[in-house]
Amino acid sequence: MSNKLKKPLAVLMASTMLAGALSACASSDNNTNDTGSANEGDGFYSAPFEDGKYTEPVTISTVFPITSSIKFKNGENIEDNVHTRWAKERFNIDIKYLWTVSEQNNAYETKLRLMLTSGQKMPDIIAFRGARSLTSDLIESGQFADAGELFDKYASDTYKAAMAEDPSVWNPYIRDGKRMAIPILENAYNNDPVMYIREDWLQKVGLEAPTTLDELETVMDAFVNQDPDGNGQDDTIALSIGFKNDLNTWMSDAGWIFGMFGAMPNQWNLTDEGKLQWGTIQPEIKEGLARMKDWMAKGYIDKEAGLHDEPKAAEAFTAGKSGIIVGPYWMTGWPLPDVKQNVPGAEYKAYPLPAGPDGKVGRHGTPTSTGAILINKDMKNKDAFFVYQNYLYENWANPSADSEFEYGFAEGYDYDFGPNGEIYREQDSDKIPGGWIDAIRYTLGFDGAIIPSLRLNTLAELADGKEPETLYEETLAQSIPEQIRAAKIVIDQKDTTMMTMFSGAPTKTMLSKGDMLDKLEKEVINKIIYGSTPLDDFDSFVERYLSSGGEDITKEVNEWYDSVK
């Protein structure tokens, strides 16, 4: 078929297909504000600005996903609520929602995609957490401004310091050296693992908590063979791991086993030569696999660990059939407390991850950003977003006693006062008229403003006996004691974190060969651990992996890495 013919046909098809979908979208009237000419005097504010607010109303248009955790009361909705009124009152900013969508089955992502494919005019800012490919596509559409430049110009010191904690958060959004979106920051170390051990089992077998691999194997052997649960049956396992999905995973993690040898599977590691390499094919993995194979044969890990996903593997621990599990500090809230209900007298404690034969400890890290804010290059008052976000960073992220957010975002929403001045919070939801509402979730960046390291660092300081001073600290001090202890261990071992170094959009070969390679990897790793293929098959697996696309992917990933570093 000639090109002449193809195009009209395709256009016709496309328009037929999209016609229905598009009519459903809100019409795109890009509402520019009517503040008149910008105040060009000082070059900072684009509109007259006095005493922390604009003297004329300024508009920010955006779009918003209403997730299931977002609740409203008093007949409010996302267009008109305590947050929008606050923004109007505090800064004279009108937040205008072009459309909102109830976030189910990725509806927000779909709607954004439709907006993009149909060529509608984009809102002033888009905040999006999710598939990196969509953020990439949005950036490639060319409708968004160099956000990094704006950030350098307008962001406050606190905001900048929070962003500087891990400069690699910008990496996914760098195009030709320009930072095209502002990362949305989240709590750091949140999913970094620690090791939980059944304290009563340790006492029963008369051993100390392991600090090295050898000690760990001694403890595991005792947990399996010395009947630690005392029921007279050989029915215990030592270590709960579940690698149905990945070895390196969020709960019931096995990544640290390889960390002891200096590599982390299922992620892109930085090698000594300064190149990125896919962790699972690094030679160190073979040593970790040898251990896991041995442990599987000796019954230290469940025979069905390869069939179990993360929660399923944790069940053995909470049922009192397993003595060790590795996972994030928040596991002390869920699901670990279940073991105390299931087994009377059960005690568990968090411990640092053990060191390998060469004294190495390694754990996977937690990305401090999973989304970003894009700023339209045609946005009229680009400074308005920063006025808003700076304020949240100064006053919300770590509120001092004189902050308007000392107790929460808004009285009557996420806190309230009782008749005698006592403070009602989430747990007193029934005492707050209309119930407890987490109003900070209405904000443009979804969670207000987060300083990544603050939460875990504060918990660690509290664990060291620091007296809570700010309200933020007081709130955290009420956490489960074991959680504070686990958080301290996470911080103590923070130098062992191995971050995944690739955060770009999936590369060309990843898209075309990724699934095949992933399947090959899972199959071989599983079979080696289960002993159905010999350990030395790992070498031929690496060769095959590289030759059937792995090499191209490594090249593409390193090209990306060179472009951002």
Partner 1 sequence: MNRSTPPSTRKPSSPTGLRQRRRGNWRRTIALDGMVLPALILTIIFAYIPMVGIVIAFQDFKPWLGFGQSNWVGLDHFQYLFSTPENLQVVWNTLIIASMKLVGGLIAPLVFALLLNEIRLSAFKRSVQTLVYLPHFLSWVILGGILLDMLSMKGLVNQVLVALFNIDPIFFLGDGNWFRFVVVVSDIWKEFGFGAIIFLASLAGINPALYEAAEVDGAGRWQQTLAITIPSLIPIMIVVGTLSLGNILNAGFDQIFNLYNGLVYDKGDIIDTFVYRVGLVDGQFGFSAAVGLFKSVVGFVLIVAAYRMAYKFANYRIF
Segment lying near partner 1 (by CB under 8 A), choices 15-23, 183-191, 356-364, 383-391: 15-23
Q: Is 527 in the site for partner 1 (CB under 8 A)?
A: yes
- Give the nearest distance from C-beta 544 to partner 1 in angstroms: 11
Of 153, 178, 303, 555, the residue at the interface with partner 1 (CB under 8 A) is 303
Among 228, 306, 320, 399, binds partner 1 (CB under 8 A): 306
Do 447 and 186 meet the contact criterion of CB atoms below 8 Å apart?
Answer: yes
**Identity of residue 138:** L
| Residue 170 tokens, joined | 């910008």
Residue 205 engages partner 1 in binding (rule: CB under 8 A) = no
- Rounded (10°) angle between helices 147-154 and 382-395: 60
Look at residue 15 and give its three-state secondary structure. helix
Binding of partner 1 by 203 (CB under 8 A): no
Q: How far is the CB of 347 from partner 1 (least distance, A)?
A: 25
138 vs 491, which CB is nearer to partner 1?
138
CB 319 within 8 A of CB 160: no
Nearer to partner 1, 168 or 245 (CB): 245
Q: Which of 519/565 has CB closer to partner 1?
A: 519
Q: Contact between 514 and partner 1 (CB under 8 A)? A: yes
Count the neighbouring beta carbons within 10 Å of the beta carbon of residue 250: 16
Which of 161, 423, 480, 511 is in the footprint of partner 1 by CB under 8 A? Answer: 511
User: Which lies closer to partner 1 via its Cβ, residue 297 or residue 480?
Assistant: 297
Q: Name the residue nearer to partner 1 (CB basis): 244 or 425.
A: 244
With beta carbons less than 8 A apart as the criterion, state whether 444 and 125 touch: yes
Distance CA 270, CA 295 (A): 28
Four-residue CA torsion sign, 223, 225, 229, 235: positive
Smallest distance from the beta carbon of 10 to partner 1, in angstroms?
Answer: 5
Token pair of 58, please? 């300024």
Judge whether 33 and 72 are in contact, CB under 8 Å.
Answer: no
Cα–Cα distances (Å) from 7 to 2, 14, 15, 20, in that order, read 9, 10, 12, 21
Determine if 525 is a binding residue for partner 1 (CB under 8 A): yes
Direct distance between the N- and C-terminal alpha carbons of the chain, in angstroms, rounded to an integer: 45
Q: Residues 301, 304, 308, 314: what is their CA dihedral angle, to the nearest 10 degrees?
A: -40
Inter-residue contact 485 to 350 (CB < 8 Å): yes
544 binds partner 1 (CB under 8 A): no
Closest CB to partner 1 among 131 and 270?
A: 131
**137 touches partner 1 by CB under 8 A:** yes
Is position 29 an interface residue for partner 1 (rule: CB under 8 A)?
A: no
Measured distance CA(251)–CA(249) in Å, rounded: 6
Asked if 349 and 323 touch (Cβ cutoff 8 Å), the reply is no
Q: Determine the size of the site formed for partner 1 (CB under 8 A).
A: 41
Stretch of residues binding partner 1 (CB under 8 A), selected from 48-56, 65-73, 305-313, 404-412? 305-313
10 binding partner 1? (CB under 8 A):
yes
Residue position matching structure tokens 């680009």: 382
Q: Single out the residue of 298, 312, 340, 494 in contact with partner 1 (rule: CB under 8 A).
A: 312
Q: Which is nearer to partner 1, 308 or 364 (CB)?
A: 308
Interface mask toward partner 1 for 219-248; x: CB under 8 A: ----------------x-------xx----
Q: Which residue in the set 161, 319, 423, 516 belongs to the binding site for partner 1 (CB under 8 A)?
A: 516
Which range binds partner 1 by CB under 8 A, 6-14, 87-95, 423-431, 468-476? 6-14
Instruction: Decide: is 16 part of the binding site for partner 1 (CB under 8 A).
Output: yes
Q: At 179, phi and psi to the nearest 5?
A: -90, 105
- Beta-strand pair 363-364/497-498: parallel
Question: Which positions from 491 through 510 interact with partner 1, judged by CB under 8 A?
Answer: 506, 510
Contact status: 472 vs partner 1 (CB under 8 A) = no
x-or-dash string of contact with partner 1, 97-116, rule CB under 8 A: ----------------x--x
How far apart CA 94 and CA 444 sit, in angstroms, is 12
3-class DSSP state for residue 328?
strand
Q: Reply yes or no: is the peptide bond before residue 335 cis, omega within 30 of 0.
A: yes
Residue 212 in 3-state DSSP?
strand
According to CB under 8 A, which one of 157, 492, 523, 562 is a site residue for partner 1?
523
CA distance 476 to 468: 9
Rounded to a whole number of angstroms, the minimum distance from the CB of residue 526 to partner 1 is 4
For position 131 contacting partner 1 by CB under 8 A, the verdict is yes
Contact 348, 318 (CB under 8 A): no
Which amino acid makes up residue 111?
A: K
245/403 with CB nearer partner 1: 245
Using the minimum distance from each CB to partner 1, give the nearer residue, 437 or 517.
Answer: 517
Q: Does 6 bind partner 1 (CB under 8 A)?
A: yes
Based on the shown chain and the rule CB under 8 A, indicate whether residue 307 belongs to the binding site for partner 1: yes
Q: Which of 59, 49, 171 is nearest to 124 (CA)?
A: 59
Contacts with partner 1 by CB under 8 A lie at 6-7, 10-11, 13-14, 16-18, 113, 116-117, 131, 133, 137, 140-141, 235, 243-244, 303-304, 306-307, 312, 506, 510-512, 514-516, 518-520, 522-523, 525-527, 530
